[in-house]
Amino acid sequence: MANYEPSLSGQHISSNLANYEAARTGFFSFLVNDIDNIIRATYTGDRTKDIPASDKIANAQQYLKLNVVKADVPHFSLEPLQYKRGNDTIKFAGTPTFDAGTITVDDVVGLDTKSILMAWQALAYDVYSRRGGRMVDYKKDCTLIEYTQDFQQIRSWKLYGCWISDLSEDAFDKENDGKRQISATIQYDRAEMIMPQ
């Protein structure tokens, strides 16, 4: 047992339970900033004038937070650049790319989950007027927060410049009735991981 290293064994975790906890997949929140009172995608009136309250979704951020059931963890990849001389090739890091992520939500009637996602996407393109939106309106900052099962924050990610590029949802199916879900593809410019103090 000359090569035995106690700090690398399961016994080390068992002897120091206060310091360790298995990360869980179901304890998180996904928040979208600045979407309260978002205008419904079905509104066809003049958006530069007063809009009736019935054509806005008052608590959109809270409703969306309640219904997100899956969220991708942000990561980036680095473009490899090659430097060639003679028979040698050296690779070095180029520019980073943050790939799109996906959130999945339950389609809850009464909480307007589907309407919220459609309204956010409509800020980038309005199917009624056939006009594109401005980045200042459709790009939102988002936050993904990870918790322990007693809801102590482990870490969070700040996602900058988020917008919805694609929405997809479960088909209607009378033979296999079940809960409907919607998936939104979220594009973003960059993400930062933040550890709590």
CA distances from 39 to 90, 165, 180 (A): 52, 18, 23
In the chain the domains, ranked by start, together with CATH numbers, are 22-194 (2.30.110)
Q: Read off the pLDDT band of 2 (50, 70, 90).
A: low
Q: Read off the pLDDT band of 7 (50, 70, 90).
A: low
Q: How many CB atoms lie within 10 A of CB 68?
A: 19
Query: In this predicted structure, what is the pLDDT of residue 93?
Result: 94
Q: Is the pLDDT of residue 77 over 90?
A: yes
Average pLDDT over residues 120-126: 95
Nearest to 112 by CA among 163, 36, 173, 186: 36
Going by C-beta distance under 8 Å and a sequence separation of 6 or more, which residues neighbour residue 83?
89, 90, 91, 92
Arithmetic mean of pLDDT over the chain: 90
Q: Read off the pLDDT band of 49 (50, 70, 90).
A: confident
pLDDT more than 70, % of the chain: 96
E strands, 64-152, are 68-71, 76-85, 88-98, 101-106, 125-126, 131-132, 140-147
The answer to pTM > 0.95 is: no
**Which ranges constitute the DSSP H helices of 5-78?**
10-15, 60-67
Across the chain, which distance is largest between two alpha carbons, in Å?
78
Q: Read off the pLDDT band of 5 (50, 70, 90).
A: low
Query: In this predicted structure, what is the pLDDT of residue 46?
Result: 82
Q: Which residue has the higher pLDDT, 170 or 12?
A: 170
Give the three-state DSSP class for 153: strand
Tens of pLDDT, residues 51-66 = 899 999 999 999 999 9
Average pLDDT over residues 166-191: 94
Query: In this predicted structure, what is the pLDDT of residue 1?
Result: 47
